[in-house]
Chain A
Amino acid sequence: GQQLNQSPQSMFIQEGEDVSMNCTSSSIFNTWLWYKQDPGEGPVLLIALYKAGELTSNGRLTAQFGTTRKDSFLNISASIPSDVGIYFCAGQVMGGAQKLVFGQGTRLTINP
């Protein structure tokens, strides 16, 4: 089945540092989404990407849809304590049904 490889699995950084994480797939996706999940909560949508090559920002977050449609990355600039959490990439294929394939997640820890 379809799988997304997300890396790194965990990151330990200092407050103020920039963060970069990415997802790769052996399959093509038509949509890439990035979610953040806090403990005990559901994933919250951060950024959605719909076109190959698209670069989209949401505040300090920037994400790109790879030109091959098989990868995406998320950057967080000038990290702050509330950025702590688990970040997931998700891919969606064309076909009508709302089915997302998720990466394994990147756990972000920030040292103050």
Chain B
Amino acid sequence: KAGVTQTPRYLIKTRGQQVTLSCSPISGHRSVSWYQQTPGQGLQFLFEYFSETQRNKGNFPGRFSGRQFSNSRSEMNVSTLELGDSALYLCASSTGQGMRRGTEAFFGQGTRLTVV
């Protein structure tokens, strides 16, 4: 069974540009969550999508947005990039239904975004 796939692995962007990151969840999983990881703030929840609907959102500005497609693949977009957006962006895949054994979140390898 293939794991969570994130593309690209690395990105370098200039301030003011926008970027789109992609996440393909584990087959059969309908929930995709996104997290930002930085040395200063640690792992912070961005948002979660389930069956193409945003189900929860963290405390990030509107420049951070996402969407989910009918095949459960998800994209995350950051507009008007700032230096502080440099981070490892992780997506997590789960069934998204309930909290019991078998519904745990599995992470991809992440996309390392550097804003210069």
The docked-state distance in angstroms from the alpha carbon of A96 to that of B31 is 11
Q: Is the CB of B96 within 8 A of A43?
A: no
The docked-state distance in angstroms from the alpha carbon of A94 to that of B55 is 13
Q: Is the CB of B48 within 8 A of A50?
A: no
Closest A residue by C-beta to B56: A97
B-side interface mostly: strand
The interface size bin for chain A is 20 to 34
Q: Is the CB of A42 within 8 A of B48?
A: no
A-side interface mostly: loop
Q: Is the CB of A94 within 8 A of B107?
A: no
Closest A residue by C-beta to B41: A104
B27 to chain A, nearest CB (A): 17
B38 to chain A, nearest CB (A): 12
The docked-state distance in angstroms from the alpha carbon of A96 to that of B107 is 19
Q: Is the CB of B59 within 8 A of A99?
A: no
Flag whether B33 is at the interface (Cβ < 8 A). yes
Q: Is the CB of A43 within 8 A of B107?
A: yes
Q: Which of A41, A96, A101, A105 contacts B45 (CB 8 A)?
A: A101
Q: Is the CB of B99 within 8 A of A30?
A: yes
Q: Which of A88-112 contact B (CB under 8 A)?
A: 88, 90, 92, 94, 96-105
* Centre residue among B48, B105, B108 by max chain A CB count within 10 A: B105
The docked-state distance in angstroms from the alpha carbon of A92 to that of B108 is 19
Q: Is the CB of B108 within 8 A of A42?
A: yes
Flag whether B81 is at the interface (Cβ < 8 A). no
Q: Is the CB of B104 within 8 A of A45?
A: yes
Q: Which of B45-88 contact A (CB under 8 A)?
A: 45, 48, 50, 55-56, 58-59
Residues of chain B contacted by A33 (CB below 8 angstroms): 104-105
C-beta contact mask, B91-116 vs A, less than 8 Å → 1, else 0? 01010100111001111111010000
B32 to chain A, nearest CB (A): 9
Q: Report which A residues bind B (CB closer than 8 A).
A: 1, 30-31, 33, 35, 40-45, 48, 50, 88, 90, 92, 94, 96-105
Q: Report which B residues bind A (CB closer than 8 A).
A: 4, 6, 31, 33, 35, 42-45, 48, 50, 55-56, 58-59, 90, 92, 94, 96, 99-101, 104-110, 112
